[in-house]
Structure formats: structure tokens, C-alpha cells
Structure 1
């Protein structure tokens, strides 16, 4: 009995350490993707191109996603056959942290330097999440993954929100710190780099990695990765429900990702002030914390699929209202609505996917899912950037309805119970 209690206590510590990486990396999502950096990008490095800076921001996000499309499945397969999920997570973490810190050096008109750092930062952040997600099945029981996945997103909202609040004070009240507003922005970038690196330490210290029966050398791992990727593509026909879900995920993740990445620059183009933009996104973080946990519990009561439906329907309403948005008050209200469903939708999507993949190939299939989601991530920001450049960013927002509706339709025809049986039977064959 005492040994069992000790094991349970150790497992809880492991789960908390895993969750801390959500707390750590979400500082990048909030300050560098959603709130501070987009405004800085438009006003400092993009100063001399006017509102077209919003288009360059969108194109840079799309380019980063395209790189991840090419890299994710290969890296995921390498991680599975070489037992190097944590090592690869660390490499992408280091890339993202370095790019974030270097942003403090970007000056007026240095658009290409800013675009390069943005691309590297997004690559480091999103790449690390492939391996972070793939660690979860090895430390949790099947019945608790919905809850733990939601807990991770919840703590991500809280951690990202706390640092964003500090960053907002440095930017809006720089005299409190004896600095200028621009210096406050640059220090915000440095604070994200430090926060991300510091709070990642528990994961590397406490979270174990499920090792393959026989680890292989790097060169052999690369060779096997290409072979395995081809096998993944061929074997998808054995998982028809997984394939349906991947298509659904492709659509709705594009809508969610585009809202996250483009909301602030959209607000900037229609004349909403910087203080309101950052303040509203701060509200999103703190609304998102309890709501992500709530959706984890709702999934236990009503099912993950039904709960995910609810979040996607709210997003349809958000996109319609976003088209008609004209004031800061409207932006605040939409920020609250996004906070209600953003963490829940992402957590539920992650936990549903875990049910449909075979045991022992988690990183490979998370990498494959990443290809689909990142390829979708190429489309949304690029469409927004193009529409904005020809003069109508509102239509770019309205177009997102298609992605959410298509995702709902495909999710509707996906049978999760059948998909779990398919994964189990093929894995055990």
C-alpha cells in the first residue's frame, strides 16, 4: 500500500512537471504571437510599409508553418525510433528562446531581420510542442488524458497571462520602471525568453521518456524515419476514422490558429488602440484558465466530441461578430468569448487524437498530425495577408467560417469508438 501511494505521488509530480511546460511556452504564445510582438512588428520593423506590415506578418507565419510541414513528420519519426523526444524538444526550445531574446535588438525598418526572427521563433515554439505532446501518453492513463491535457492548457493560460500582465505594465507604465515604452517592449521579449527557459527545467528533470526496445544511431534513425513516414502514409487506409479526424482537425485548427495569430493585427488595422488590444488579450488568458479546466470536466460528463462541437460553434459566432467589430468594447467582448473556448478546443482536440493512434508510435503520429495542422496554418494567415493587402481585412476574418463549418461536418462523421478499435486492432496485429 505504501509503495502504491509513493508511486501515485511520483506520477503526480511527473504530470505537474509536464504541465509546467505549458506554463513555460505559453509566454511565447501570448506575448510573441498574440499580443505584444504583432503590434511592435507593425510599428517598428514594419514602420515604413504601413498597413502592409500586417500582410508581411501573415506571410511570415505561413512560411514558418510551411517549414514545420516539411520537418514535423521526419522529426517525429526520428524521435520514436531513437528515443530522443526530450532531446529534440530541447533543441527546438533553444532555437525559440534564442530568437525571442534577439528580438530585443530589432530596430526601425529592419523588416527582414524581424521576419527571420519571427520565423525561427515560431519554428522553435511549434516544433517543441510536437515532442511535448508525444510525451503525454507515456505518463498518463487513458481515462485521465482529457483532464491532464486540459490542465496543461489551463496552466498555460495562467502562466502566459501572468507574464503578459507584467509586460503590459512595463509597456503602459514604463515610468514605474524608469524606462521608456520601447525599452519596456524590448524587455518584454527578454522576459519571455527567460520565463520559457526557466520553467521548462521541471520537464527535463522529472518527465520520463518511453524508450524504444533498441535505440539506433542518428544516421540510421534518419533512414528509418523516411521509411516509416512512407509507411505512415500507406497505413492511413487502415485507420479510416483517424483520417476523417485529421481532415476535421485540418479545418478547425486553421480557423483557431488564424484567430490567435491575426487577431491583434486585425484590430490594429481597424484602428483599435494598443492598450485595448493587449488588455483584451490579457483578459482572454485569465478567462481561458478556468474554462480550459471546465471543458476537461465537461468532456468527462458529456464526452470529448460533444464538448468539442460546442467550442467550434462558439468560434463560428466569434467570426461573424468579428466581421462587424468597430470598437474597443467589441474587441473586449470577443476576447472573452475566445477565452471561453480556446483552451478547451485545443485540449480536447489533442486528447481525442491520442485515442486514435497506435501505441509506440506517438511522436510519429503527432508529427503527422502536425503536418496537417501546420499546412492548414499556411493557408489561414496567407489568406488574411492577401485579402488585407488588396484592402479588405474584414472579409479575411469572415472567410474563417468555412474552416469551422467544414471541421464540424467532418467531426460529425468521425466515429471515435470505431477509431479506437481500429487503432487497437492494428497496433496489436
Structure 2
């Protein structure tokens, strides 16, 4: 294992997490509501349009994922495609400096392109792990990349918060200028910290080349094959359906929290600061939930985190004060990473040990399709009722259904089914 090459791989997570924090979660949703969608009749409509944008972006990513996975597995162009998708996301982020009042369609279009660049690049970034790191080191290096992503995205978000909230410190005329610089900073940050990977890692020829149509057929045939095979594991199938529900609720909260807070009257600087809290609180509490899972069992610890999410959604419905949003941000930070890591760990025990990549690939694709539903429901309920509070309350259904279905899963039996099928 080449340490410098692995360090370059880890730094890419540091690089592109700037898009996840500033563009997906914090600054852009507020900008979309205040500026891009400022000509819409009301903020509730802006919130719903942002939810629709999220759903469209995830739909396109979900369709592309199996194709990109096939290209990553069967071509020798992982770095090339990673570079191309990264540049797409970088360029989309930079182009937000041209979005003005009322340009919500342009903003939605650019965000969709940025999301494709971010998620598409990750397909090839993840695939490089097998090429660069031996099997017994992959868990540690993968976790290290995840941690660096948390820190890198959080650091730039803090800088952007200062640019927006304390713009006069930097000689800027107003917070909007600070916001535009924040968008540009994402592009610069992503590009600069990607360079070590692009310079150190080169593509290797891996076999015959295929046409795009052939890659498409390979990708979707693999997904269909796994879907048919998964019926051999009843407990895994039940868990997967439960996962689709509660994971959709979690991802919708991540993507819609900021613009929802903006709509109900919370200040921009407070919203971003609260998300910074979520980012850094998540690091120690993710590790803590791992310890809780060891003590109480993974299923019970997942129940605890999902139960807290139900309370978060209900409290979010009644939220009116800034301090309440800070409190919710802290609580979300407590359970966000823990719930996702425990859910992934449970899934790993239910899949056959000789086919983990196949089943985790299916989880990735299927969860992206399911993630379309949450923002869509949020938006439709908001548009139909004229209240995004009811849209956020509707997410309770995702968590309750997920918890009920999870209760029907026998983890011990599922692990035995995986072992028996492998044998």
C-alpha cells in the first residue's frame, strides 16, 4: 500500500464534502429560498420546489448509479470518469455566482448537475479503494476517508458562515456577496484538494472496452439479478424494506431542514451555525453509538435512534424559536451518524459473506430510488395544504413504518440464512 497515494485518496473525501455541507445542506437551500425563488408567491412554494429539485436529482442519480458501477468495474477509466464528474460538480457550484433573483429554474438545474457530479464521482472514488488498499486495511482507510470528509466539509462551512455572517470583516459589502464567494469556495476547495488524487493515481487497462449501451445492460442486469437472488433471504428482504423507509426519513431531514427553518422565520446565520454544530457533534456521537450497540445490541440501539428521530420530527412541527433549531441540530448530530452506521452494520450481517459488494451495490441503488419519495411527499403535502409544517410532520410515517417493519426482522435468523445460502 502506497501511503501517499492512499492519503491522496482520503483527501478527495475532504475535497468533495464541501459540496455536501455548503451546497446540499446549509448555504444553498437558504439562498434558493431568499434569492433564486424570491419571485415565487410565498416561501412555502419555494420550499416545495426545493424538495422537487431534490427528488429529480436523486432520480437521475439512481438511474445512473448501476451504469456508473458497471463502468467502474469493467473499464480502466476510473480516474478519468472521477475527474469528469468532479469537474461537472465543481463547474455547477461555481456557476451559482450567476444565479440572481427569480432564477429558481437555473438554480434547480445547476443543483441537479452538481448532485450528478458529486454522486457520480463517488461511484468511481469508492471503486478506487479496492485498487489502492489491501483487504485487511480497507475498513480503516474507508472510515478515515469518512472522518476526513466530516472535518473538511465542516471546516469550509465554518469559513463560509463567517463570510456570510461577518462579511464586513472581509471588506465585503453585504452577506449576499459572502454567499456568492461561498459557492465559489466550494468549487475551489473541491478542485484544489482533488489534485493530489488526480496526479498520483493513474488508470490501468483492465480488459476489453464496451459501448455505453453495453455498460447500461450490464449494470441493470446485475441489479435485476441481485433483486431476484435477495428473495432467498427473507429476513434480509424485510430489513431492506424497513431500511428504505427510515433511511428516506433521515435523508429528507438532512436535505430539507435548512430551507424549512428559513421558511418558518429563522435567521440565515443561525441556520448555518446550527448545521455546523450537527457536523461536529456527529463525530463523537457516531463512535458513542457504536459502543451503545456493543452493550445493548445493534437492533435496540437503532430503535433508540429512530425513536429520537420521531421526536425530532414532532418537535420540528411545533418549532418557532431559534434556540429550538439549535437544540434539534444538536440532537440530530447525536443520532444521524450513529443510526446510519448501525443500519449499515446490521445489513452487513444479513448478506452472504462471499457477495458483499453485490448486495451493498444493490443497497446503494435501491436506497437512492427510495430517497426520491421523502422530498416528494414533503413537497406535495406542503403544496396541497399550504403548510410545510405538515410536510415535515408527514415524515413521521417513514420512521414509524420503518420501526414497525424492523420489529419483524429476526437478525439471528437472517444471519443463519446468509450462512446457509453461502454454504
Q: TM-score, normalized by length of structure 1?
A: 0.85
Structure-1 residue corresponding to 2:207: 215
Structure-1 residue corresponding to 2:309: 315
Q: Alpha carbons of 1:348 and 1:98: their partners in 2 closer, same or farther (altered >3 Å)?
A: farther
Instruction: Select which of 36, 46, 51 maps to 1:58.
Output: 51
**Aligned equivalents of 2:420, 2:80: Cα separation in 1:** 31
What are the equivalent positions in structure 2 for 1:6-405 lying under 5 Å apart? 18-49=9-40, 50-51=42-43, 52-82=45-75, 86-133=79-126, 139=133, 145=139, 152-180=145-173, 181-201=175-195, 215-219=207-211, 220-357=214-351, 364-389=358-383, 390-405=385-400
Q: Which has the higher contact order (CA 8 A, sep 6+)?
A: 1
CA shift digits 1:347-372 (9 cap, x unpaired): 33334434444568666544422332
Q: Alpha carbons of 1:141 and 1:228: their partners in 2 closer, same or farther (altered >3 Å)?
A: closer
Using the TM superposition, name which of 320-329 and 188-197 deviates more: 188-197
SS at match of 1:98: helix
* CA positional deviation for 1:191: 1.0
* CA positional deviation for 1:19: 4.4
Is the Cα–Cα contact under 8 Å of residues 129 and 138 in structure 2 kept in the other structure? Answer: no
**Aligned equivalents of 1:148, 1:412: Cα separation in 2:** 33
Is the Cα–Cα contact under 8 Å of residues 67 and 218 in structure 2 kept in the other structure? Answer: no
Is the Cα–Cα contact under 8 Å of residues 154 and 291 in structure 1 kept in the other structure? Answer: no
Is the Cα–Cα contact under 8 Å of residues 103 and 186 in structure 1 kept in the other structure? Answer: yes
SS at match of 1:44: helix
**Aligned equivalents of 1:133, 1:18: Cα separation in 2:** 10
CA shift digits 1:263-318 (9 cap, x unpaired): 11111111111121111111111211222233344445555444333322221111
* CA positional deviation for 1:137: 7.0
CA shift digits 1:23-66 (9 cap, x unpaired): 33222121111111011111211110031211111110011111
**Aligned equivalents of 2:327, 2:255: Cα separation in 1:** 18
Give structure 1 regions of 4+ aligned residues with deviation exceeding 6 angstroms: 205-209
Q: Alpha carbons of 1:261 and 1:316: their partners in 2 closer, same or farther (altered >3 Å)?
A: same
**Aligned equivalents of 1:197, 1:241: Cα separation in 2:** 43
Gaps of 5+ in 2: none
Using the TM superposition, name which of 406-415 and 278-287 deviates more: 406-415
Structure-2 residue corresponding to 1:4: none
CA shift digits 1:148-190 (9 cap, x unpaired): 6665444333222111110011111112112232221111011
Q: Alpha carbons of 1:230 and 1:301: their partners in 2 closer, same or farther (altered >3 Å)?
A: same
SS at match of 2:100: coil
**Aligned equivalents of 1:360, 1:337: Cα separation in 2:** 37
**Aligned equivalents of 1:190, 1:425: Cα separation in 2:** 53
SS at match of 2:246: helix
CA shift digits 1:383-419 (9 cap, x unpaired): 2222222311111111111111222233333344554
Instruction: Please provide the CA RMSD for this pair.
Output: 3.2
Q: Alpha carbons of 1:159 and 1:131: their partners in 2 closer, same or farther (altered >3 Å)?
A: same
Structure-1 residue corresponding to 2:404: 409
Is the Cα–Cα contact under 8 Å of residues 77 and 367 in structure 1 kept in the other structure? Answer: no
